[in-house]
A and B are shown apart, each in its own frame.
Chain A
């Protein structure tokens, strides 16, 4: 009887431990895909999040060039649905990129992925 109880107790502990591992592994290895779209004009570059997927924060980044030859990297504000970076007359935007973050807060950001004029969508994959 006692032996049975001990085994039952051990089995419960083992099962609990297994469940804990099972619960922990997918969480640490889980990924989320965030599909974003870009809209580009000569003076603005916008990355927007597809509202049907599981991501909600986006941020745009661009390299901005001045007639003087100076250049800099500019980061747009984080929004729930979109983020825009701007140039101005005479000031141009070179390569630009976007990143997104999953709803599962506080999920990490995806790495920035570049947009080009020929690519209108990007799927950001986030590991969390």
Chain B
């Protein structure tokens, strides 16, 4: 928090709200501090120094990651790696043109290695802060969605929902005061 607060204090204009950027928030303050301390590339240091990860920096991180991955999975080769922007949330997904266990294990090894200096901090901070700026637990995000759709009764609290949701997710058949046919909850789960 301290790092983010200091940076926001120094760069007030950069910390104004914008859906196109991610900025320091309390729940990720340790992650921001760690990122600033352990950045290993000029790109990372530049992307993080103002306390904001812009969309352009998020894009650049993935391009650098892809260039690294293509050393092991060259374009035109038998197994290829690509990145795609998802319609649902505008975030990148990684795609491996194979479903073999051997290729997945090789991908995992390189994926994590190539993320150092590129996406490891920048993408995580952008992902988390643009999709969940308050750092809410997953169940609380689902509750917000159901509530906005008018699917939870008045007076039903997020804490009560989180307990019911955990039971629901664990297969319990106890009565819950929200639509329990699975569809609404899953629809919300897919959108948060």
Interface residues of A (CB under 8 A from B): 37-41, 43-44, 46, 48-51, 57, 61, 63, 71-82, 84-86, 94, 105-106, 109, 112, 120-121
Contacts and interface: CB of A to CB of B under 8 A. Distances in A.
**Does more than half of chain B's interface fall in helix, strand or loop, or is it mixed?**
helix
Interface of B: 27-28, 30-31, 34, 38, 86, 88, 91-99, 103-104, 107-108, 111-112, 123-124, 127-128, 131-132, 135-139, 141, 166, 169-171, 182-183, 185-187, 189-190, 192
Contact of A72 (B98, B111, B190): B98
Contacts, number: 108
A46 to B, nearest CB: 5
Contact of A77 (B30, B91, B182, B192): B91
A13 B31 CA distance: 36
Given A39-B185, A41-B190, A49-B138, A79 B96 contact: no
A120 to B, nearest CB: 5
B123 A78 contact: yes
A81 B27 CA distance: 11
B92, B112, B127, B136, most chain A CB atoms within 10 A: B127
